[in-house]
Chains A and B, each alone.
Chain A
Amino acid sequence: MPWSRGVRGLVMACLAALPLAAPAQSGAWRPLAKDGVHDPRSPAIGVLQEPGQALSQLPPDTAGNYVKWVEALEKGVISPRTSIKPETQIRLREDVIVVSKFGSMPAVSFPHRQHTLWLDCANCHEQPFVSKAGANRLSMQKILDGEQCGLCHGAVAFPLTECNRCHNTSNAALQRARQGDAKR
């Protein structure tokens, strides 16, 4: 079956190329002159930093800017300023809130730490979220419409295709923990 072997070879070649293709994608930042928003005739082209030049140096990701921004921060690859006014108080919070329990998707665990590394409390509280665990009615539809978490996720923070980065907590495990609590 010579023809079939040829096809099989092609399939194998593609399978081998797929993992290569994915990182190639992560390295494929458009040059500013070809990104569809910058005017190629603008004098800024050649002066402004190219995304590929900066972003290729940071921990790679598979979506968004193709950069793991939190990891870049934690590893010290970047050290963005936390404030610009001397009087600004830097506020960090470390707790994790588990929300959206026992639905059809794994529960969401929201880590305050990663969020407060970038953001101030006032960016989320009391709008769009009140400062009380369990008091916020979250809606995936609203998020997809650019409200709630969707103010950032899907715009600047990792996009909404990455379901399991937020929906990462097993409901069964939560259920077991709850039953364990009840027994005690």
Chain B
Amino acid sequence: MRSAEALVAAALVAATVLLAAGPAQAEYGDVVLNRRSEANGVRPVVFPHWFHRIRFRCKVCHSELGFTMRAGANDVKMDDITQGRFCGMCHNGTVAWGPDRCDLCHSGLPGLKSGIVGGHGTSGPGKW
């Protein structure tokens, strides 16, 4: 009886510790873009969905700006951005910082793979 109680107690302590430990990694919905970044000598881009959706609804980027809703499906080049397309619609030095502030977007750890990262235990659909 006592060992059963001890087992229950141990399980509860473990569960408490695990739950208190919190989310493991990057913020849910963060996207890493590294198709060209490192090959061109800059850090990978980390795009935070959470930051942008506080300020813009999904439809602004995914309808008006033409971003396909699949990480990796948008082949955005710096030329596009400096010419006001994709990120450049806002990241132009007026609405948000301009493309001269390289480090603010290119802030990822070297060696990261492109794709959507962060989040929940079962958030890992194979295609992402």
Contact A29 B55 (CB under 8 A): no
Tell me which of B15, B25, B28, B59 contacts A119 (CB under 8 A).
Answer: B59
Main secondary structure of the interface of A (DSSP, over half): loop
B92-128 Cβ-contact flags toward A at 8 Å (1 or 0): 0000000000011111111010001111111111111
Contact A155 B57 (CB under 8 A): no
Contact B69 A30 (CB under 8 A): no
Chain A: CB-nearest residue to B127 = A146
Stretch at the interface among A34-42, A94-102, A170-178: A34-42
Contact B90 A84 (CB under 8 A): yes
Give bound CA distance, A161 to B21, whole Å.
Answer: 18
Chain B: CB-nearest residue to A116 = B59
Does A166 have its Cβ within 8 Å of any Cβ on chain B?
no
Kindly provide the distance from the CB of A123 to the nearest chain B CB, expressed in whole angstroms: 5
Kindly provide the distance from the CB of A89 to the nearest chain B CB, expressed in whole angstroms: 10
**Chain B residues in 8 Å Cβ range of A78:** 54-55
Contact B117 A37 (CB under 8 A): yes
Query: Would A18 and B19 be within 8 Å (CB), given that A37-B32, A42-B107 are in contact?
Result: yes
Tell me which of B46, B62, B64, B65 contacts A37 (CB under 8 A).
Answer: B46
Give residues of chain A (130-175) contacting chain B, Cβ–Cβ below 8 Å.
143-147, 150-152, 154-156, 159-161
Contact B109 A146 (CB under 8 A): no
Contact A118 B51 (CB under 8 A): no
**Chain A residues in 8 Å Cβ range of B22:** 24-25, 28, 30
A-B contact pairs, 20 of them (CB 8 A): A4-B5, A7-B5, A10-B13, A21-B16, A21-B19, A24-B22, A30-B25, A38-B109, A39-B108, A42-B108, A44-B105, A48-B51, A51-B51, A64-B119, A65-B50, A80-B55, A81-B60, A84-B90, A119-B57, A155-B123
B15-53 Cβ-contact flags toward A at 8 Å (1 or 0): 110011111011111101000000000010010111101
Give bound CA distance, A17 to B9, whole Å.
Answer: 13
Does A22 have its Cβ within 8 Å of any Cβ on chain B?
yes
Chain B residues within CB distance 8 Å of chain A:
1-2, 5-6, 8-9, 12-13, 15-16, 19-23, 25-30, 32, 43, 46, 48-51, 53-60, 62-65, 69-71, 89-90, 103-110, 112, 116-128
Chain B: CB-nearest residue to A10 = B9
**Chain B residues in 8 Å Cβ range of A49:** 51
Contact A151 B64 (CB under 8 A): no
Does A179 have its Cβ within 8 Å of any Cβ on chain B?
no
Contact A80 B27 (CB under 8 A): no
**Chain B residues in 8 Å Cβ range of A67:** 50
Give bound CA distance, A151 to B21, whole Å.
Answer: 28
Query: Would A37 and B57 be within 8 Å (CB), given that A14-B12, A146-B127 are in contact?
Result: no
Query: Would A45 and B107 be within 8 Å (CB), given that A30-B23, A118-B58, A154-B122 are in contact?
Result: yes
Count chain B CB atoms within 10 A of each CB in A15, A85, A146, A152 and give the residue with the most: A146
